[in-house]
Structures are given as structure tokens and as C-alpha cells.
Amino acid sequence: MERKLAVKDEILLSVQQPARYIGGEVHAVMKDKEKVNVRFAMCFPDVYEIGMSHLGIQILYDMFNRREDIWCERVYSPWTDMDRVMRAHQIPLFALESQDPIKEFDFLGITIQYEMCYTNILQVLDLAQIPLLATERTLEHPFVIGGGPCAYNPEPLADYFDLFYIGEGETQYFALMDLYIKWKQKKESRETFLKQAAQIPGIYVPSLYDVTYQEDGTIASMRPNCQEAPERVTKQVVMDVTDTFYPKKPVVPFLKATQDRVVLEIQRGCIRGCRFCQAGMLYRPTRERDLSMLKEYALAMLANTGYEEISLSSLSSSDYSKLGELVTFLIEECGKKGINISLPSLRIDAFSLDVMGKVQDIKKSSLTFAPEAGSQRLRDVINKGLTEEVILDGARQAFVGGWNRVKLYFMLGLPTETEEDMRQIAWLAEKIAERYYDVPKEQRHGKCQIVVSTSFFVPKPFTPFQWARMCTKEEFLHRAYVVNHEIKEQKNKKSIKYNWHEADVTVLEGILARGDRRVGKAILKAYEKGCLFDSWSECFQHQLWLEAFEECGLDLAFYTTRERKEDEIFPWDFIEIGVSKKFLLREWKRAQKGEVTPNCKSACAGCGAAVFKGGVCIEHQN
């Protein structure tokens, strides 16, 4: 029988990309809703093409659907045109597979990947006709559960979620589902379920905690308000990343998704310890997948999806110990089938240049370096173990090898940054250009093209910079001005192009990233004023956000430009990620002195992640 769509033809034909709303893709899972115990709607609160590119959902979708008694479906944010029609016609938000309303589901799971999707979360709830406030939900409504990196500071969203899952989804979701199935049979209250769920490791139920504040606005205490809720919630990690869930048949979208390729996650975590990087701390310890598993999955996924490209995924691919073997295997297998290989997050050295020369068209590709800071001094502050010598040598080798395009990524507004550090960004670009023109003319390919991009630094929870002061919009823009001006002073300025990020949205991201429960009201207010798709520059309405904060009586400076005291209680302190606050503080102090800390493979810095008893913490113990 043909699937019946939730939205009429004439509506679908009147919106952009109707394929976003019809489901039915290759490997989408259909089940009989009468024969399952749990219906789970998995949501990425952004447009379909972005959401479908997310690996985490593909992993959990596959994992849930392996169980006969659970049917996991997908839902994404309807784009603004569809949003308007759905409101006008009172069409409840629906899941792609069954096209049934989300409000009939048992769970709505939302992955929270970046701060600028918070208003989209409210849109999803609103369109689904689920009360926005968790306290107003009844037995008629699904449980709304959040996960992903932003769930490590869930407090700004505390009012809107029934539960948060802290950590990697492969570990505790089945326990939660089993608990739910039992609870459903007994027909008990929502509160009963939430209290039981709070006892599952990694589950945080915000309504079971009370927060008190000091006069200066900082947190005085955050305590459970019932016996069932634990004092601290511990991050859940998969310790065997080889023998675990990974999709061999990911859903293949009809539309060209942002990530239009097979994604092979080779490891989790990162050994580097860059002090600005949240992922580098959250996903410790670093765990590698077994080479034979990766080979098997690469072939199976390519065969099952028909993609013509495969991409390796990790925070720092060069640190994967068997990268050479894996890449050699892929080149051999993919070459004969006309399949492209993409290798992001590679350090530029002789090996990677050799590999890249084999897998991509040098004339069309560019090299990427992420020095993050212009001067060695500041790179030491942020613990980015990349020296000027390494960058220049990598560039020289690449230029000799035929490349002539280089992309450089930096951050502005890092702690301790001086004007000298900013100017050095321009100087580094100039030195790279000079390396290019050192190559004999007959070996060069025209002019070189260096693109310098700067983003503005946002201090994130669970990093050594969580105490740091964040710049104001004016300070950010001044920094971009200094860099821009200095680039114009360089001899090879015509070979250097400079892009910088917008400052308004960065300041907002900073507020939400380190916000507390009180910030939640402003998110709702901004949403009610019409803020949506804030990460899309064409949709971002800065003025409405400012009004929302003002009306909620929130002081932006309290969340952004204030340097935190060492003993301040942070909204996210109740979460245990393995990496200790003591270690982060030590790193914060070392940063201010410009002292570097070696990576996990060189020497254990005692961050605390060894408590998980695995990964790099065990393998590299000397």
C-alpha cells in the first residue's frame, strides 16, 4: 500500500524542496505501528539537508530500529515557507516515515548540536502541538529528551525538556526504553517515570533539581529536590567503539544533503587538548575503532548506499594510529569503482600531501591549516601544538607538489590576545605567500591564493577557557579591523583574501553557551518575537534577541564579558565528564602563563578521563 503523506499535494508543490517532507528514502525504516511498544521521533532541529548529514542520528536510528519493539523515525525543522503553511492550516508536525503526528509518539528526541538552533527546538515543539514547557505536558504528550554536545550545558533549555541524555547514545538508551515500556504498562504518572529515569546513569531530569543564586547573580547551589535524583550526572561513553552500533545501511536522501557521502567515523575523542575546544574535552578518552571493522563497514556502506564518495570522520584524523593502512586500502578499493575519498582534519605533512595527491585533483583542491592563532605565544596559550616552522614547511612541500591555494583558519578574541598577535596573522599569511614565490617559476601554477578566515572565540563549558572573559561585539570587530588593515600592508596582499565572521551572532552564542536556567525565558521570548533559524544569516534577527534579553531583565555582560572567579559554581558543574574541574583550572592557569601541555599520547596530563578505564588512557600508559 502506498504511504499517505501528511501534507496535501498542492501544499507540497507550493514550498521549496518538497522532498524534505515526504520520507520514503532508501533504507528509511517502515514498521507496523500496532506492533511496536515505543515510537521514538528523532529530531535534528534544522532544515532536512543539514539534519540528514548528521552521523549521530544515523547511528541511533539504526540502533533503535534493530529492536522489533521500537520504531524510530525522523523529523527536521520545517523551513520557513512550510512553517507558515503548517501554522495557517493547523497541520501538526509529523514524522517522515509514517507521516503521523509527533504528538502521538512516546518520545521526541532532539539532538542539540549548536546554540543557534535553540529557537528551532521551540518551533519543533510548537508545530508538533506539544506544550513548550515541560511542566505543562500530560500523559497525552511524548517525553521530550535532549542530547548532543549542547546537552553538556542543558540549563538554558531546562524548562523545555523532560530529560537530557548526557553522553553517547549507544550506552543507556535501551535501559531507558525498557523502563518506559514497564512504566507504560503500569499506567503511572509522568513524574514517576521521570524519577525512575533519573536513576539511569547519564539521565538528567531538570525538574528534579532546584537552583539558588547569590546576590551577585552567580549560582549559590544546585541540588536535587527528591531522593531519586543523583547529586551528579555522569557522562556515558562507549568504551568498545569497535564492537558497537554503527549503521551499515544509512538512510540515503533524495535531496543533496550537506554531507552527501558515506561517513566513516574512525575514532572518538582527540588527544590534542587545545584549550578552546569543547569537543576535545567532552569526548575524552580518545578511542580508536579497529582497522578491520572500518574496512568492513566502508565496503558495506558503499555497497548499500551507492554513494560515490567516502569521508573519514574524526576530530583529528592524522592521530589515528592505522591511518596509512586504512587510506591505502580505501585508495585501492575506491579507485577501481570511481569512488572519491575525502580526508578532512589531516595535518599537512609529507604523508598527507602524498595521500591527497592520490585522491584529489590538486588543481581544484586547496590546503587547509588551522593555526587558530597568529603568534607562537598565543598558540602556546591555547595549546595548539602547531609551530610556524611546521606550517611553512608543509606549505612549501605543498607548493612544490603543485598546490597553489591555501586556507588558513584563526580565532580572534582569545584570552591574552594583543594587537601584536592579531598582526601576526597577516604576517603568517605573507610568509606563506613568500614560500610560494620561492618556488622556481616554471614549477608554479600561476598566482597563489591564500584565504584567511577568522571566527570569533566563544568560551565553552568544560574547557580550560570556561572561566574566560568574552569580547564585546565592538572588541571583536576592532580585532577584525586590525587584521584586515595589516593584511593590506603586506607585500603580497593581492594574493591574500580575508574573511571574518559576524560578531552579533557570536555574542549571542556566548550567552547561550554559558547561560543558566534564567536564560531560558529569553529564548522563549525571542522565539515568540519571531526568531527562528538563527544560524542562517538570512534569518537571524539580532534586534529581536536584544529586546528579548532586555524584557527578561537579563544582563548580557554577566554572561559574556565577565571573567569568572576560580571557585564559581557553573550551571554545568553537576555533570561529570571524567575530565575534572581541577584539571581544567590547572590548564586555565597554565594558559595564562603560556605553558603548553603535551598530548595524551606523549604524556598523561592527569585530566581525569582515565576513570573510564579505556582508550588512550590505557593504551599509552608507560
Partner 1 sequence: MNIRIKFRKYGAMKFISHLDVMRYFQKAIRRAKIDICFSEGFSPHMIMSFASPLSLGVTSEAEYMDIRVKNASSSGEMRERLNQTMAEGIDVISVRLLPENSKNAMSLVAAADYQLCFRKDAKLADGWEAKFLEFLKSPEIRLIKKTKKGEQEVDIRPWIYQCVVADGIIMLQAAAGSVHNLKPELLIQAFADWAGITLEPFSLLVHRKELYAEIGDGEKKVLIPLEELGEDFGE
CB of 252 to partner 1, least distance (A): 6
| Distance, CA of 611 to CA of 595 (rounded, Å) | 25
Whichever of 21 and 71 has its CB closer to partner 1, that residue is 21
Strands of the 203-204 sheet, one edge to the other: 70-76, 38-44, 107-111, 143-147, 163-165, 203-204
Contact stretch for partner 1 (CB under 8 A) within 2-10, 189-197, 448-456, 482-490: 2-10
The overall longest dimension of the chain from CA atoms, in Å, is 80
Contact stretch for partner 1 (CB under 8 A) within 67-75, 85-93, 250-258, 293-301: 250-258
* Pairing label, strands 340-342, 367-372: unpaired
Contact in structure between 406 and 398 (CB atoms under 8 Å): yes
Position 85 contacts partner 1 (CB under 8 A)? no
Whichever of 61 and 209 has its CB closer to partner 1, that residue is 61
Whichever of 14 and 258 has its CB closer to partner 1, that residue is 14
Subset of 254-293 contacting partner 1 (CB under 8 A): 254-256
CB of 265 to partner 1, least distance (A): 21
Position 12 contacts partner 1 (CB under 8 A)? yes
DSSP state of 26: B
Q: Which of 71, 143, 180, 307 binds partner 1 (CB under 8 A)?
A: 307
Position 359 contacts partner 1 (CB under 8 A)? no
CB of 402 to partner 1, least distance (A): 13
CB of 227 to partner 1, least distance (A): 50
Contacts within 8 Å (CB) and 24+ apart, 280-283: 280/315, 280/463, 281/462, 281/463, 281/577, 281/579, 281/584, 281/607, 282/149, 282/152, 282/235, 282/462, 282/577, 283/237, 283/315
Position 88 contacts partner 1 (CB under 8 A)? no
Whichever of 84 and 582 has its CB closer to partner 1, that residue is 84
Whichever of 4 and 35 has its CB closer to partner 1, that residue is 4
Whichever of 7 and 108 has its CB closer to partner 1, that residue is 7
Q: Which of 133, 220, 303, 603 binds partner 1 (CB under 8 A)?
A: 303
In 369-472, alpha helices (H): 376-381, 388-400, 419-438
Q: Which of 306, 440, 446, 553 binds partner 1 (CB under 8 A)?
A: 306
| Distance, CA of 235 to CA of 59 (rounded, Å) | 18
Q: Which of 23, 45, 51, 459 binds partner 1 (CB under 8 A)?
A: 23
Beta bridge partners of 482: none
Contact in structure between 176 and 203 (CB atoms under 8 Å): yes
Outline where DSSP puts E strands in 539-616.
575-576
Contact stretch for partner 1 (CB under 8 A) within 239-247, 297-305, 369-377, 526-534: 297-305
Contact in structure between 419 and 462 (CB atoms under 8 Å): no
CB of 447 to partner 1, least distance (A): 22
Q: Which residues contact 104 (CB under 8 A, 6 or more apart)?
A: 39
Beta bridge partners of 221: 212
Count, residues near partner 1 per rule CB under 8 A: 30
Q: Backbone phi, then psi, for 311, in 5-degree steps?
A: -125, 135
Contact stretch for partner 1 (CB under 8 A) within 51-59, 264-272, 303-311, 318-326: 303-311
Contact stretch for partner 1 (CB under 8 A) within 106-114, 301-309, 465-473, 598-606: 301-309
Whichever of 219 and 300 has its CB closer to partner 1, that residue is 300
Q: Which three cell numbers stand for residue 214?
A: 547569590
Position 22 contacts partner 1 (CB under 8 A)? yes
Position 32 contacts partner 1 (CB under 8 A)? no
Whichever of 14 and 543 has its CB closer to partner 1, that residue is 14
Position 24 contacts partner 1 (CB under 8 A)? yes
Give the x-and-dash track for 329-348 against partner 1 (CB under 8 A).
--------xx-x--------
Q: Which three cell numbers stand for residue 555?
A: 544582563
Position 149 contacts partner 1 (CB under 8 A)? no
Position 9 contacts partner 1 (CB under 8 A)? yes
| Site of grid cell 519493539 | 69
Per-residue DSSP letters for 479-498?
A: HHHHHHHHHHTSTTGGGEEE
| Distance, CA of 261 to CA of 342 (rounded, Å) | 9
C-alpha distances in Å from residue 66, one per residue of 24, 60, 69, 104, 452: 18, 10, 9, 22, 46
Position 305 contacts partner 1 (CB under 8 A)? yes
**Chain residues in the site for partner 1 (CB under 8 A):** 2-3, 5, 9-10, 12-14, 18-19, 22-26, 252, 254-256, 302-308, 337-338, 340, 361
